[in-house]
Amino acid sequence: MTARSVRSEVPLDETWRLDDLFPSMEAWEAERAAIEQMIPRVAEFRGRLGEGPQVLLECSEALESLMMRFTKAFTYAYLRFSEDGTNPAAQGLMGRVMAMQAMIGAGIAFMRPEVLGLPEGTIGRYVSEEPRLEPFLRQLELMLADKPYVLSTETETAIAALSEVLESPQMVYEWTKTSDISFEPATDSAGKQVPVSFATYEEILEISPDPALRRSAYASFSRGLARYQNALAGTFATEIKKNVAMARIRGFESATHMFLHQQEVTPEVYTNLLDVIQEELAPHMRRYVEHRRSALGLDKIMYCDIEAPLDPGYSPEISYEKGAQIIMDSTAVMGPEYADIIRVALEDRWIDRADNVGKSTGAFCASVYDVHPYILATWGDSMRSVFTVAHELGHAVQSVLASRNQRFVNARPSLVFIEAPSTFNELLLAQHVLEATDDERTRRWVITQLLGTYYHNYVRHLLEAELLRRVYAHAEAGRPITSSLLSQEKGDILDGYWAGVVEIDDGAKLTWMRQPHYYSGLYSYTYSAGLTCATVVAQALSEEGPDVAARWTRVLGEGGSRKPLELMKMAGVDLEDPGTIRSAVAYVGRLIDEVCVGVD
């Protein structure tokens, strides 16, 4: 059995270069001290925002500078923790940066109540009198939209001071995943033992072509999760109850309404995405999974078999270098600026791709406005890894383009839009490979990778969103959130979706323990919003060409300067029309038809 590497054993070229953020821990500590000295300078504007536009401008600029520097410091600490959560120094960094976040929150909490306390029309007058306030208008309008839900300055300050405590459920969850949960080795069909970790299970073992290894790893993974189900149900319940309480304190109808307000999305859009995709995609996905059982000669489809490769004999290994070249080739159609960002990210150590003990699971892209984004992934020498890195590079392109075209305050888009650039990049990759081959076997192989993207965003993450919808309903009604309730609801959701095609055992019911999305509001459903947008734009690109590429690049450069549905409409996508969702689902159905045709 090959042991997992510790961080110090990982080759340098497989890691990200964090020196671009801070050359040393000492430099980070010096910056932390400097940031803490900036907090009182912003707090000096307390009680003065009514003096005139110049004061509001100076306060806004001081706050932007503070948050830009804090975000850089926070990201450094988070990346150090993500690369090895078992490292005591990284744990200490996170502790200090979370404490600093609470200090900042308390120091700037006055701003929203004061802005909202200004006489009606004051902000508009200020902006007309002081044009340099224009870049901050979007932020100020967001504050004004919060007016019915903002509390007194004293109360907001108290809540901000508690931010470190209020964010603790997610931190405890992350610490438990990276540092505490361990798994027994799995056994492959040859009797060889294979180490299991969160990262290797989700990136490699869950999609292994060896059914013995895949199911053995699943059993090990499920047993490891089960040992912590009560503790992590506690963090889950605390997060949910916190949000329900906060929504009530602020006067929202529910926690769901609070999050949708923050995302600038109507309940109808949210409900349509959940209901239309679940109802209309389920028959396609059931057929696809039943085809997988037949094609692979399996006795049954277990939860761990849903993504088993359809053609186990055709799973060529793809090195990072070859995968990087495929991604670069696929994005050439987007023009030189877009393609160059991709190239630099792949070649200049923006990406941490090794597996090591203590490394965070899954993949993410962390934006740093005045440096460059950083990507965490675990490279598995497979086409799935190529798609994963392409996904995160889509986030990176959006981050860079927004940084080039917007001030820091307007760089980050709403969560509802944020998964559109990433999934669009995956679709670019698939289209490129499909157009470059006339080999039927290769074509089916690539389509199954693309269907993996739709499975993750239209099924896995959407069913997470369905669980959240149900759990919040329980919490709003005052029912306790326990591990048994979470497993029961998750099992009911999976049973209903798969309708007997997939065996839903106790391990499947524990999948609520796998994702950190539950600690980010209603993040899970936004994957479906982003993928729907990306699907429509990618289809338009294949039909219309360069004009669509140029338009999409402009949209990405808008960052968060517009509402998310406005950004999508700029790209030619109307998410408020259920027909848009149905057209994207129909496209997935056509992909499944092509994979299954002539075989069923």
- pLDDT tens, N- to C-terminus, the chain (600 residues): 457 799 999 999 999 999 999 999 999 999 999 999 999 999 999 999 999 999 999 999 999 999 999 999 999 999 999 999 999 999 999 999 999 999 999 999 999 999 999 999 999 999 999 999 999 999 999 999 999 998 888 998 899 888 888 989 998 998 888 788 999 999 999 999 999 988 789 878 998 999 999 999 999 999 999 999 999 999 999 999 999 999 999 999 999 999 999 999 999 999 999 999 999 999 999 999 999 999 999 999 999 999 998 888 787 789 999 999 999 999 999 999 999 999 999 999 999 999 999 998 789 999 999 999 999 999 988 888 999 999 999 999 999 999 999 999 999 999 899 999 999 999 999 999 999 888 888 888 889 989 999 999 999 999 999 999 999 999 999 999 999 999 999 999 999 999 999 999 999 999 999 988 999 999 999 999 999 999 999 999 999 989 999 999 999 999 999 999 999 999 999 999 999 999 999 999 999 999 987 444
SS3 per-residue string spanning 67-117:
HHHHHHHHHHHHHHHHHCCCCHHHHHHHHHHHHHHHHHHHHHCCHHHHHHH
**Going by C-beta distance under 8 Å and a sequence separation of 6 or more, which residues neighbour residue 116?**
143, 144, 146, 147, 150
3-state secondary structure of 421: helix
3-state secondary structure of 8: helix
Domains in the chain: boundaries: 7-166, 265-316+401-600
State how far the Cα of 549 lies from the Cα of 156, in Å rounded to an integer.
44
Contact (Cβ atoms closer than 8 angstroms) between residue 382 and residue 317: yes
Beta strands 364-366 and 374-376: pairing type? antiparallel
Main-chain phi, psi angles of 375, to 5 degrees: -120, 130
CA-closest candidate to residue 176, choices 168, 185, 188, 184: 168
Q: What is the pLDDT of residue 410?
A: 96
CA-closest candidate to residue 462, choices 419, 425, 422: 419
Beta strand spans in 173-329 (E): 186-187, 193-194
The two tokens of residue 382 are: 């497979």
State how far the Cα of 305 lies from the Cα of 224, in Å rounded to an integer.
19
State how far the Cα of 262 lies from the Cα of 255, in Å rounded to an integer.
11
**Going by C-beta distance under 8 Å and a sequence separation of 6 or more, which residues neighbour residue 336?**
none
The residues pairing with 364 across neighbouring beta strands, listed in sequence order, are: 376
Q: Is 317 left (phi over 0), alpha (psi -120 to 50) or beta?
A: beta
Max distance between CA atoms of the chain, in angstroms, equals 77
State how far the Cα of 422 lies from the Cα of 390, in Å rounded to an integer.
7
Give the right CATH number for 7-166 from 3.30.70.1400, 1.20.140.70, 3.30.70.3270, 3.40.50.300.
Answer: 1.20.140.70
The two tokens of residue 480 are: 């306790």
The two tokens of residue 145 are: 């939209």
Residue matched to tokens 């699907």: 535
Q: What is the pLDDT of residue 265?
A: 94
CA-closest candidate to residue 237, choices 174, 173, 176, 175: 173
CA distances from 189 to 14, 51, 301, 317 (A): 30, 75, 18, 19
- Write out the DSSP string of 305-365: GTT--S-TT------HHHHHHHHHHHTGGG-HHHHHHHHHHHHTT-EE----TTPPSS-EE
The two tokens of residue 298 are: 């399996």
Q: What is the pLDDT of residue 2?
A: 58
CA distances from 18 to 275, 284, 361, 413 (A): 42, 44, 19, 24
Residue matched to tokens 């099992």: 491
**Going by C-beta distance under 8 Å and a sequence separation of 6 or more, which residues neighbour residue 377?**
203, 351, 352, 353, 363, 385, 388, 389, 392
State how far the Cα of 368 lies from the Cα of 399, in Å rounded to an integer.
8
State how far the Cα of 249 lies from the Cα of 6, in Å rounded to an integer.
45
416: number of Cβ within 10 Å: 28
The two tokens of residue 211 are: 């059914």
Beta strand spans in 155-274 (E): 186-187, 193-194
State how far the Cα of 298 lies from the Cα of 290, in Å rounded to an integer.
10
Beta strands 193-194 and 186-187: pairing type? antiparallel
Contact (Cβ atoms closer than 8 angstroms) between residue 464 and residue 518: yes
**Going by C-beta distance under 8 Å and a sequence separation of 6 or more, which residues neighbour residue 458?**
277, 281, 528, 531, 585, 588
Is domain 265-316+401-600 in CATH 1.10.1370.20, yes or no? yes
DSSP conformation class of 302: B
What is the identity of the amino acid at 531?
L
The two tokens of residue 261 are: 């307000």
SS3 per-residue string spanning 450-475:
HHHHHHHHHHHHHHHHHHHHHHHHHH
Main-chain phi, psi angles of 39, to 5 degrees: -60, -45
Q: What is the pLDDT of residue 440?
A: 86
The two tokens of residue 173 are: 């969850």
Q: What is the pLDDT of residue 170?
A: 92
Q: What is the pTM of this model?
A: 0.89
